[in-house]
């Protein structure tokens, strides 16, 4: 009898509609709504599509790689930190480049007019403590 009741309760629980709510911590809403989820899935992933990926100039020469993305306090992406260092990025020389200067050419991130030497001559970016 007890087993029958448990199976019946499990069956009812599985057929009930699922109510999805965002997590709440105090009065702060955590997570996103279904409408926002669509925007997230259509957006870019910094980790998958930007960070670590090469940067080219308009003559298709690899001039560095994206090391980091800077997000300002108003939640906008403002700068890309490009490692313009030596072979295999062993000798780091990070420079901050405004994202407005980049172009997307197919799957390639392009910084028109840039050269390795010009990036190496740019003052190095250092994180504030």
Angle at 41 between CA 39 and CA 45, to 5 degrees: 105
pLDDT at 97: 93
**pLDDT by residue (tens digit) across 3-50?**
443 434 444 444 444 444 554 445 555 677 777 777 777 776 777 778
- Cα distance between residue 18 and residue 91, in whole Å: 53
β-strand 108-110 against 54-56: which pairing, if any? parallel
pLDDT for res 28:
59
Ordered by start, the domain boundaries in the chain are 45-121
- Give the model's confidence band at 107: pLDDT under 50 very low, under 70 low, under 90 confident, else very high: confident
pLDDT of residue 7: 39
The mean per-residue pLDDT over the stretch 115-125 comes to 91
Distance CA 110, CA 90 (A): 22
d(CA 122, CA 128): 18
Q: What is the pLDDT of residues 58-92, one digit of tens each?
A: 999 999 999 999 988 888 888 999 998 765 546 78
Superfamily of domain 45-121: PRC-barrel domain (2.30.30.240)
Single pTM value for the model:
0.65
Tokens of 100: 């407005």
């Amino acid at each position: 009898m007890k087993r029958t009741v448990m199976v019946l309760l499990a069956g009812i629980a599985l057929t009930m509609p699922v109510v999805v709510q965002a997590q709440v911590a105090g009065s702060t809403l955590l997570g996103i709504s279904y409408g926002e989820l669509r925007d997230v899935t259509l957006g870019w992933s910094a980790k998958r599509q930007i960070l670590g990926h090469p940067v080219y100039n308009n003559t298709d020469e690899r001039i560095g790689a994206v090391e980091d993305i800077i997000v300002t306090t108003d939640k906008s992406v403002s700068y890309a930190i490009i490692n313009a260092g030596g072979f295999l990025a062993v000798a780091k020389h990070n420079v901050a480049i405004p994202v407005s200067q980049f172009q997307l050419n197919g799957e390639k991130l392009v910084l028109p007019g840039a050269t390795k030497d010009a990036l190496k001559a740019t003052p190095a970016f250092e994180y504030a403590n």
